[in-house]
Structure 1
Amino acid sequence: MRYRIVSTSERPDLAVTTATWRWSGFFRERGVPVEEVIRYERDHLAAGSPMLRTLVLLADGEPVGMVSLLSNDLEGRPDLGPWLGDLFVEARFRGRGHALRLIAGLEASARADGVERLWLYTEDAAGLYRKAGWSEAETAVSGGKPVRVLYRDLKREGS
């Protein structure tokens, strides 16, 4: 299988796919209409915002998952950032290491931009991120639920 990570700025044709995944994974339960998420995705893509970069993992050319670089992702913690957010692998492709590929891809992209530390929060996937080398910083609350806040230092040793 051949893997490739592309950004939606390189492949704007993937914006509807990523918006649908974002809606399915993070906004459907909140009652947000999918059309609103698609519009948001297209608006940010058109603006070329460097702090909303979405990467898509392609397996033999087929999109299987995504992850985003966000400027702010946790209400009440504007002091932290940038953030890894919206990690999503389509259900039929899970269990094959794709989430780890996406995490590594976003880390490499952020490191290339000079980012020294990334943050994320999760309700139930802290183990996945620890496996990828992330460290736990604190517990917070998001949407009335406890979440774990993790970070990853990207600074190269010796630099």
Structure 2
Amino acid sequence: MISIVSIADRPDLVPVTGKWRWEAFFKDEMSLDEMLRLEQECASSSELMPTVLVMLEGEYPVGMIALCLDDLEGRPDLNPWLAGVYVDPRYRGNGYALRLIEELEGLARNQGIKRLSLYTGNATGLYHRAGWAMTETVQRKGRPYSVMQKNL
């Protein structure tokens, strides 16, 4: 059975989500310990942003997604952000990323958010399938990234 929970409700998942996020997105920017500390702060926050959702198959974590502010430095005009989409490699190809995206969009919509932004280096196809539109290309650390948005 698939379920989606917040790390605010399941802080025991912080070591898993922190490690995933560090390995996939922050390995070159901070230590794993720093990432785990930030993930714990997120789990302890009562604010909407940041929110980290985790997909569980039974009780086993298989993927995650985040809602946050200021994901792309210097672009507060694009807030808020869908970020940190990650599915464990053993579970990819099952549509889990799309389900996580839909869940986060629903959460944002229910909180009165009218538009979300994201940036990606290699997953534009996934986000196009979820109804997102590319709005611009930016350079980050010498690599091109697509900025995408979706009106909710």
TM over 0.5: yes
Q: Indicate yes or no: 2:148 matched with 1:150.
A: yes
Matches within 5 A, 1:130-149: 130-149=128-147
Deviation at 1:117, TM superposition (A): 0.3
Matches within 5 A, 1:59-74: 59-74=57-72
5+ residue gaps, structure 1: 155-159
Aligned counterparts of 2:45 and 2:131: Cα–Cα separation in 1: 32
Matches within 5 A, 1:50-61: 50-61=48-59
Q: Which amino acid aligns with 1:137?
A: T
Aligned counterparts of 1:3 and 1:35: Cα–Cα separation in 2: 29
Please, what is the CA RMSD of the aligned residues? Answer: 1.1
Moved over 6 A (4+): none
Matches within 5 A, 1:10-159: 10-28=9-27, 30=28, 32-154=30-152
Aligned counterparts of 2:43 and 2:116: Cα–Cα separation in 1: 21
5+ residue gaps, structure 2: none
Aligned counterparts of 1:145 and 1:10: Cα–Cα separation in 2: 36
Using the size of structure 1 for normalisation, the TM-score is 0.91
Bigger mean CA offset, 38-47 vs 90-99: 38-47
Using the size of structure 2 for normalisation, the TM-score is 0.95
Identity of aligned residues (%): 45
